[in-house]
């Protein structure tokens, strides 16, 4: 199927380095697994930056299962705090840290930033009064809201405040868009390369980074929404794997008895012949071509919906709990695990 329409209409952008990285050869991924929580660290230098189209910096991706389970939540918190501590470089407890919760508190899937800020222990004003215990870091926090509610470019509000209070470190928290069903609400990305507010959910806005703010920036992002194109293209890929797996196992009696067989845990070799038999012309497309086609199909009729799981309210509560507890733990030397 020759593709006649504009290839740029659907930007195949991802906010997650780990998704961008899978398209690049020879990229060193440092992977570790902590009791089911997977951490992937990728360092992007100047050269790799050009290839992969992502900014120079360290990217740490934490992947995990359902955080509505309290035991899993505690495990993710421990890993998150440990990884965050790798990026936080401060010389003294008096160094001011500005924590920024991006997003919209009246839109549930975009409320991760504001919900996280609500749990951050803020101390900057107490430092002015000299009434802070020595284990507390100097911390300020803002929730600049979104341009649709303020009328002001969010990066402009942040730059104004940062120029005024001159923090030594900025930590930014935001909801992201996922380009994979499997990472939705199951991934935290940490990076020292900055972020563009609303890049996931709304239009990409001006960048918040060391370059724009003259201050080191740590960005913490969680993919909380996904578009219909991603759901369909992921599912089509799963169909292929399911088909090949089923064909191989069709005559094995045991297979038929297995309910909810998780075929993704098997090593399945995709061959083009099977793919095209199953899917015809669609089976001839690579991933990018498939997404472009889906964009051509869904966008003109207004159905490339951006969606979020129906239990998003509780997921946001659990995820923000991990983020503010982890930040408090690292900045303020908390001994206690505050997960509830």
- Report 41-70 residues binding a second copy (CB under 8 A): none
Among 25, 91, 151, 286, binds a second copy (CB under 8 A): 151
Q: Could you give the string, one character per residue 120-149, with x where binding to a second copy holds by CB under 8 A and - elsewhere?
A: --xxxxx------------xxxxx-x-xxx
CB closer to a second copy out of 178 and 191: 178
Mapping DSSP to helix (H, G, I), strand (E, B) and coil, where does residue 159 land? helix
Q: Residue 169's beta-bridge partner residues?
A: 97
Among 22, 36, 300, 333, binds a second copy (CB under 8 A): 300
Rounded to the nearest 10 degrees, the angle between the axes of helix 272-279 and helix 228-249 is 110
Tell me if 36 contacts a second copy by CB under 8 A. Answer: no
What is the smallest separation between the CB atom of 88 and a second copy, expressed in angstroms?
Answer: 18
What is the smallest separation between the CB atom of 128 and a second copy, expressed in angstroms?
Answer: 9
Tell me if 299 contacts a second copy by CB under 8 A. Answer: yes
What is the smallest separation between the CB atom of 64 and a second copy, expressed in angstroms?
Answer: 14
CB closer to a second copy out of 44 and 158: 158
Choose the stretch contacting a second copy; rule: CB under 8 A; options: 14-22, 33-41, 81-89, 240-248.
240-248
**H or E, element range at 226:** strand 217-227
Of residues 2 through 31, those in contact with a second copy by CB under 8 A are 4-5
In the 8-state DSSP scheme, what is residue 302?
T
Q: What's the per-residue H, E or C state across 268-289?
A: CCCCHHHHHHHHHHHHHCCHHH
CB closer to a second copy out of 29 and 157: 157
CB closer to a second copy out of 16 and 42: 16
Choose the stretch contacting a second copy; rule: CB under 8 A; options: 10-18, 28-36, 41-49, 236-244.
236-244
CB closer to a second copy out of 37 and 98: 98
Tell me if 287 contacts a second copy by CB under 8 A. Answer: no
Tell me if 171 contacts a second copy by CB under 8 A. Answer: no
What is the smallest separation between the CB atom of 13 and a second copy, expressed in angstroms?
Answer: 17
What is the smallest separation between the CB atom of 146 and a second copy, expressed in angstroms?
Answer: 10
Tell me if 248 contacts a second copy by CB under 8 A. Answer: no
| CA separation for the pair 201, 223 (Å, rounded) | 10
Of residues 174 through 233, those in contact with a second copy by CB under 8 A are 181-182, 184, 201, 225-226, 228, 231-232
Tell me if 118 contacts a second copy by CB under 8 A. Answer: yes
Mapping DSSP to helix (H, G, I), strand (E, B) and coil, where does residue 251 land? coil
| CA separation for the pair 210, 172 (Å, rounded) | 12
How is 15-69 classified by DSSP, letter by letter?
A: S-HHHHHTTSTT---EEEEETTEEEEEEEE-HHHHHHHT--SEEEEEEE-S-TTS
Mapping DSSP to helix (H, G, I), strand (E, B) and coil, where does residue 312 land? helix
Beta strands in 131-202, from DSSP E residues, in sequence order: 138-142, 169-178, 187-191
| CA separation for the pair 191, 289 (Å, rounded) | 29
CB closer to a second copy out of 67 and 293: 293
Tell me if 165 contacts a second copy by CB under 8 A. Answer: yes
Q: Up-side HSE of residue 265: CA atoms within 13 Å toward CB? A: 3
User: How many CB atoms are closer than 10 A to CB 57?
Assistant: 21
Compute the residue count for the chain.
340
Q: Could you give the string, one character per residue 254-283, with x where binding to a second copy holds by CB under 8 A and - elsewhere?
A: --x---xxxxx-----------xxxxxxxx
Tell me if 106 contacts a second copy by CB under 8 A. Answer: yes
Encoded tokens for 19: 């998704």
C-alpha 123 chain-centroid distance: 28
* Size of the residue set binding a second copy (CB under 8 A): 88
């Amino acid at each position: 199927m020759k593709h006649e329409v504009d290839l740029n209409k659907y930007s195949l952008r991802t906010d997650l380095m780990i998704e961008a990285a899978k398209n690049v050869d020879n990229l060193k991924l440092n992977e570790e697994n902590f009791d089911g929580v997977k951490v992937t660290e990728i360092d992007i230098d100047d050269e790799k930056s050009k290839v992969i189209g992502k900014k120079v910096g360290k990217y740490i991706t934490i992947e995990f299962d359902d955080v509505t389970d309290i035991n899993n939540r505690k495990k993710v918190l421990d890993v998150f705090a440990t990884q965050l501590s790798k990026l936080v470089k401060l010389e003294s407890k008096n160094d001011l840290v500005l924590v920024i919760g991006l997003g919209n508190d009246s839109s549930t899937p975009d409320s991760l930033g504001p919900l996280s800020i609500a749990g951050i222990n803020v101390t900057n004003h107490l430092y002015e009064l000299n009434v802070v215990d020595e284990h507390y870091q100097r911390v300020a926090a803002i929730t600049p809201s979104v341009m649709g509610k303020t009328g002001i470019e969010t990066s402009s509000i942040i730059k104004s405040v940062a120029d005024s209070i001159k923090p030594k470190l900025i930590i930014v928290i935001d909801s992201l868009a996922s380009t994979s069903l499997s990472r939705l609400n199951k991934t935290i990305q940490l990076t020292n390369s900055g972020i563009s507010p609303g890049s996931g959910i709304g239009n990409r806005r001006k960048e918040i980074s060391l370059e724009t703010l003259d201050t080191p920036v740590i960005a913490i992002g969680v993919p909380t929404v996904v578009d219909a194109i991603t759901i369909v293209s992921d599912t089509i890929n799963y169909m292929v794997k399911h088909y090949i797996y089923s064909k191989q196992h069709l005559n094995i009696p045991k297979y038929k008895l297995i309910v909810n067989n998780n075929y993704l845990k098997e090593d399945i070799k995709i061959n083009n012949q099977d793919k095209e038999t199953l899917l015809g012309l669609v089976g001839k497309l690579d991933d990018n071509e498939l997404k472009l086609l889906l964009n051509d199909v869904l966008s003109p009729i207004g159905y490339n919906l951006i969606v979020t799981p129906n239990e998003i309210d509780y997921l946001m509560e659990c995820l923000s709990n991990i983020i503010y507890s982890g930040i408090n733990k690292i900045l303020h030397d908390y001994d206690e695990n505050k997960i509830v």
